[in-house]
Amino acid sequence: AKAEGRNNYRFFLPSMHERVKERKTIEEDLRNALEHDQLELFYQPKVDCLTEQVVGAEALVRWKHPERGMILPGEFISVAEECGLINKLGAWVLREACRQTQIWRENGMPDLRMAVNLSPAQFQDVELVRTVTQTLETTKLPEGTLELEITESILMNNPEKAVSTLKELKKLGVGIAIDDFGTGYSSLNYLKRFPVTSIKIDRSFVNDINVDPDDKAIVDAVIGLGHSLHLDVVAEGVEEVEQLQYLQNKGCDFIQGFLFSKPLPVPVFEKWVKDRNE
């Protein structure tokens, strides 16, 4: 906006002012939310592509706002990132997801893997490895249970640092998934360099898998690439049986999507898993 000159400034002023004010309100509310237990995790099942059994879950944060009702992460994660609350929020999500996983393991639920999303800022945080170590010690989750989902941009910002952080996480038995695969910088080289364990095909490719030859080609290529590098391939955003069938035929490993279930609050998730395994 600066480059457009001084004369334009007044046109930006009101809306910018409002945006800043809005943001400030969200920021204050969010601080408050962290202190007053207004955040809640929903869990979306991850199923084995062939057996269609539940193998894990992804934790997705929700904000139960006292006045505005339930707010989705798309509305507040970026604010949390900008105002420096993301590390606190992220640490809460990590602990809560692991605590819940441990409770499920003790209460006769099938042993599930748990995936937690990490923001780029969290990945830069020097405390990250310590927080993960402590959380795993407290909850005594076995190796291979926790998986962290990161995006391609995290790896490209500071590759050397990223490699060393990922190696430390790997030593702790933590799996690393590349989220939204194919939408970011997509350097195939990093898949070899970084100790990642799975890739998640972005839902934009899965969407038109049966109608768009380009998307089909991309999905086929990603599955092939993943498998030749010994990575698990997860497809997200699967909504239709035809998409599932296509992915099953292509040997995709795991599936997430509304076809099976949307993200669910704890009691509903528990019931869903029990009903499914009967």
Residues 184 to 213: which contact Ca ion by CB under 5 A?
208, 212
Q: Which does 261 bind (CB under 5 to 8 A by kind): ligand C2E, Ca ion, none?
A: none
Q: Is 127 exposed, middle or buried (0-12, 13-18, 19+ CB in 10 A)?
A: exposed
- Residues lying near ligand C2E in the complex (CB under 6 A) are found at 44, 60-61, 72-74, 77, 90, 93, 117-119, 149, 179-180, 203, 236-239, 256-258, 263
Nearer to ligand C2E, 118 or 219 (CB): 118
Distance in Å, CB of 62 to ligand C2E, minimum: 7
Give the integer Cα–Cα distance in Å for 139 and 248: 34
Phi-psi region of 201 (alpha: psi -120 to 50; beta: other; left: phi over 0): beta
- For tokens 């991309």, the residue is 218
How far lies 118's CA from each of 86, 88, 121, 123, 178, in Å? 9, 12, 8, 7, 11
CB 181 within 8 A of CB 201: yes
Q: Which does 145 bind (CB under 5 to 8 A by kind): ligand C2E, Ca ion, none?
A: none
- Tell me if 75 contacts Ca ion by CB under 5 A: no
Distance in Å, CB of 108 to ligand C2E, minimum: 26
Distance in Å, CB of 28 to Ca ion, minimum: 27
Nearer to Ca ion, 29 or 180 (CB): 180
Which residue in 149, 150, 162, 218 binds Ca ion (CB under 5 A)? Answer: 149
- Tell me if 72 contacts Ca ion by CB under 5 A: no
Which residue in 101, 117, 139, 145 binds Ca ion (CB under 5 A)? Answer: 117
Q: Which does 237 bind (CB under 5 to 8 A by kind): ligand C2E, Ca ion, none?
A: ligand C2E
- For tokens 């898993």, the residue is 273
Q: Which does 229 bind (CB under 5 to 8 A by kind): ligand C2E, Ca ion, none?
A: none
Q: Which of 113, 63, 71, 120 is nearest to 93 (CA)?
A: 63
Q: Are strands 254-255 and 232-235 parallel, antiparallel or unpaired?
A: parallel
> Which tokens in the block code for residue 275?
């009903």
Q: Which does 212 bind (CB under 5 to 8 A by kind): ligand C2E, Ca ion, none?
A: Ca ion
Residue type, 7: N
Phi, psi of 46 (to 5 degrees): -115, 125
Tell me if residue 231 falls in helix, strand or coil: coil
Distance in Å, CB of 265 to ligand C2E, minimum: 12
What are the residues binding Ca ion (CB under 5 A)? 117, 149, 179-180, 208, 212, 215
